[in-house]
């Protein structure tokens, strides 16, 4: 496949931030690829990168089995930037000395610039910059022909470069948000040192993905489980461009969807694109299997199992289907690696339809696997998807089931749907919908006493949950104006029959979670 002329190669040593390096480079409209650190010298030469970045990694270069690269890499004449582990490896291989730091520098730190170095163009010698460190080793002595370019509190050599201006190393992570000037440093490497030209846009990403998917799928057929959320919607539009009729979307109604959701989703796909959309109404099956179940974990397990059973049955009816597409994003990938066995792993096992691919002998297609949520939204815009769908808040796979505490019955579902509709409606009208991560109603398993007219009432309680978050991993409760809270409460109590009380959830995650179950 054609690669843009000015491409960058990132050699990965296992840092949790490696994808972030690629993302920063994309932000400069430059193309990059991540390959494992053992990508061979022959492959690298054939690849002809404009520059190479050695990522960070959790190990120490001092250990006997440390990951490494061939020494010859540094004499190919290609500019190289080593970050964290990448810095220590570069210095060690070229004859410098690395040692365990007496005081480990983790988290926020400060460097002082010692030189008007190439990576620090735009900043004066002597300037102090905040940076993000995450390693226990440091450089003791430099390789021949290298100069130190910045120091930190615990390390006299926090950054360095060779005198020729082709090899560079940073002890900290320029790619993370917590290194505010990191972008400028990466930009200096890419544009000033490597002299790359920006040419990689979202449109190039689309063209590239289309070509890749066509190459992979050939004449087979692809199935995609559509939830109506941002990720699966964007995946569907992207794959439709690549495959047209070779793609079938399966949209399942599990009976746990929000008000009018099944119609909204079908309209989007039918009106806009005439895609092969198979609507499967399995709501009765789900609700009868959930009858009488109150335990949250059991609910999730039942929903996951029934989803797989129904999906499999439907998928089998599609001839020549060899691929299953999923809208997995990069944060889903890290989450399931970092938190194996934790609650997030459980979340994702449902989200990604669990063992389906292996069980059905389907190959996976995940075209968004390297992207972050905001990039997926830009991609969605480029693909012409309506804004309403692009900016949708996340909605959990098990749907309203995890927002109805206690038993799930058609009556309780109806009540929650109406209350939830009011919440979203008012939040949108007040301009808060895009400012928060999620805003929804929860139906509690208790009733409380109230008074209406001269009558005593004994009715349901709705909890209002509004959170701010970057990625759903941590969250703060949203500080909505009292006036808006009052309006939502009023409308729910007046419009939703069976509710006489609304409470506001003021807990953050951790130690709470966003959903109540």
DSSP string, 143-168: PTTEEEEEEESS-S-SEEEETTS-EE
Instruction: Give min distance, CB of 413 to ligand XMP, in A.
Output: 17
* Closer of 369 and 509 to ligand XMP (Cβ): 509
Residue 347: CB atoms within 10 A of its CB come to 21
Name which of 474 and 494 has its Cβ closer to ligand XMP. 474
Provide, rounded to whole angstroms, the least separation between the CB of residue 505 and ligand XMP: 12
Annotation says 173 is catalytic: yes
CA distances to 140, 210, 440, 505 from 467, rounded to whole Å, are: 46, 36, 9, 9
Q: State yes or no: residue 79 binds ligand XMP (CB under 6 A).
A: no
**Between residues 105 and 515, which has the closer beta carbon with respect to ligand XMP?**
515
Catalytic residue among 135, 173, 240, 350: 173
Question: Is 175 in the active site?
Answer: yes
| 208 among known catalytic residues | no
Considering beta carbons, is residue 117 or 236 the nearer one to ligand XMP? Answer: 236
Per DSSP bridges, beta strands 247-253 and 455-468 are unpaired
- Tell which positions 305-344 bind ligand XMP, by CB under 6 A: 343
Residues 236-241: contacts with CB under 8 Å, at least 24 apart: 236/269, 236/275, 237/273, 237/380, 237/383, 237/384, 237/385, 238/206, 238/209, 238/210, 238/367, 238/368, 238/379, 238/383, 239/213, 239/325, 239/365, 239/367, 240/273, 240/275, 241/206, 241/210, 241/383
Which CB atom, from 175 or from 515, has the smaller least distance to ligand XMP? 515
CB of 264 to ligand XMP, least distance (A): 18
Among residues 175, 262, 375, 426, the one annotated as catalytic is: 175
Contact map string, positions 134 to 153, toward ligand XMP, x by CB under 6 A: --------------------
Please report how close the Cβ of residue 361 comes to ligand XMP at its closest, in angstroms: 24
Q: Binding to ligand XMP (CB under 6 A): which residues in 453-482?
A: 472
What x-and-dash track marks residues 243-272 binding ligand XMP by CB under 6 A? ------------------------------
- Bridge partners for 466 per DSSP: 439
Q: To the nearest whole angstrom, how small is the minimum distance from the Cβ of residue 273 to ligand XMP?
A: 24
Closer CB to ligand XMP, 84 or 310, in the complex:
310
Strand partners, 138: 99
Question: x/- contact string, 412-441, with ligand XMP (CB under 6 A)?
Answer: --------------------------x---
175 CB-near residues (< 8 Å, 6+ apart): 17, 20, 21, 23, 24, 83, 182, 186
Which of 347/441 has CB closer to ligand XMP? 347
Count of beta carbons in the 10 Å neighbourhood of residue 418: 18
Nearest alpha carbon to residue 430 among 388, 507, 482, 495: 482
Best CA proximity match to 83, nearest among 7, 24, 39: 24
**Among candidates 132, 137, 174, which has minimal Cα distance to 157?**
137
Shortest CB 395 distance to ligand XMP, Å: 7
For ligand XMP, the closer of residues 241 and 301 by Cβ is: 301
Give, as ranges, the residues between 341 and 400 that touch ligand XMP (CB under 6 A): 343, 347, 350-351, 394, 396-398
CB of 227 to ligand XMP, least distance (A): 8
Q: Which helix (H) or strand (E) holds 503?
A: strand 499-504
- Catalytic residue (choose from 84, 91, 160, 194): 84
DSSP element (H, E) containing 104? strand 97-113
**Which residue number, 188 or 438, has a Cβ lying nearer to ligand XMP?**
438
Nearest approach, Cβ of residue 397 and ligand XMP (Å):
3
Which residues, including other chains, have CB under 8 Å from residue 334's CB and lie 6 or more apart? 16, 19
Q: Which of these ranges, 195-203, 268-276, 325-333, 508-516, lies near ligand XMP under the rule CB under 6 A?
A: 508-516
Angle at alpha carbon of residue 221, lines to 278 and 254, rounded to 5°: 30
List CB contacts of 106: < 8 A, sequence separation 6 or more: 133, 134, 135
CA distances from 513 to 162, 301, 374, 435 (A): 49, 19, 23, 19
Given a contact cutoff of 8 angstroms between Cβ atoms, the answer to whether 255 and 303 are in contact is no
Closest approach, Cβ 37 to ligand XMP, in A, equals 33
Count residues contacting ligand XMP (CB under 6 A)? 14
Question: What are the residue numbers of the active site?
Answer: 84, 173, 175
Contacting positions for ligand XMP (CB under 6 A)? 343, 347, 350-351, 394, 396-398, 438, 472, 509, 513-515
């Amino acid at each position: 496949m054609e690669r843009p002329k000015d491409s960058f190669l990132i050699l990965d040593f296992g840092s949790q931030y490696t994808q972030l390096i690629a993302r920063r480079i994309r932000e400069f409209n430059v193309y990059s690829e991540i390959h494992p650190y053992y990508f061979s010298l022959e492959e690298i030469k054939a690849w002809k990168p404009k520059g190479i970045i050695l990522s960070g990694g959790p190990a120490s270069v001092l250990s006997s089995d440390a990951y490494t690269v061939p020494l010859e890499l540094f004499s190919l004449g290609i500019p190289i930037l080593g970050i964290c582990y990448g810095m220590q490896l570069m210095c060690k291989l070229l004859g410098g000395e690395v040692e365990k730091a007496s005081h480990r520098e983790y988290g926020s730190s400060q460097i002082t610039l010692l030189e008007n170095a190439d990576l620090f163009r735009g900043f004066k010698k002597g300037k102090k910059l905040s940076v993000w460190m995450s390693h226990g080793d440091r450089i003791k002595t430099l390789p021949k022909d290298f100069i130190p370019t910045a120091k930190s509190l615990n390390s006299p050599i926090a950054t360095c470069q060779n005198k020729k201006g082709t090899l560079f190393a940073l002890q900290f992570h320029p790619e993370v948000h917590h290194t505010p000037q990191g972008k400028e440093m990466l930009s200096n490497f890419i544009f000033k040192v490597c002299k790359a030209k920006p040419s990689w846009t979202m449109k190039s990403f689309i063209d590239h993905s289309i070509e890749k998917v066509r190459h992979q799928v050939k004449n087979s057929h692809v199935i995609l489980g559509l939830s109506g959320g941002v990720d699966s919607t964007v995946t569907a539009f992207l794959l439709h461009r690549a495959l047209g009729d070779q793609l079938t979307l399966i949209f399942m109604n599990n009976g746990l969807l929000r008000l009018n959701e099944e119609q909204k989703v079908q309209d989007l796909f039918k009106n806009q694109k005439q895609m092969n959309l198979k609507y499967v109404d399995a709501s009765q099956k789900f609700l009868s299997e959930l009858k009488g179940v109150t335990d949250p974990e059991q609910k999730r397990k039942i929903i996951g199992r029934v989803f797989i059973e129904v999906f499999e049955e439907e998928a089998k009816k599609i001839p020549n289907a060899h691929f299953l597409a999923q809208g997995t994003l990069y944060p889903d990938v890290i989450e399931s690696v970092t938190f194996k066995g934790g609650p997030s792993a459980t979340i994702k096992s449902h989200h990604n339809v669990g063992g389906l691919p292996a069980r059905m002998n389907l190959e996976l297609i995940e075209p968004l696997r390297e992207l972050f949520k905001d990039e997926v939204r830009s991609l969605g815009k480029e693909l012409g998807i309506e804004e309403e769908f692009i900016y949708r808040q996340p909605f959990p796979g098990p749907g309203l089931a995890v927002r109805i505490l206690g038993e799930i019955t058609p009556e309780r579902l109806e009540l929650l749907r109406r209350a939830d509709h009011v919440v979203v409606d008012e939040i949108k009208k007040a301009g808060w919908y895009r400012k928060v991560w999620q805003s929804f109603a929860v139906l509690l398993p208790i009733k409380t006493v109230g008074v209406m007219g001269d009558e005593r009432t004994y009715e349901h309680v709705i909890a209002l949950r509004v959170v701010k978050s970057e990625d759903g991993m941590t969250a703060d409760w949203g500080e909505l104006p009292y006036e808006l809270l009052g309006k939502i409460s009023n409308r729910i109590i007046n419009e939703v029959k069976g509710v006489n009380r609304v409470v506001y959830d003021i807990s953050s995650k951790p130690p709470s979670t966003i959903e109540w179950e």
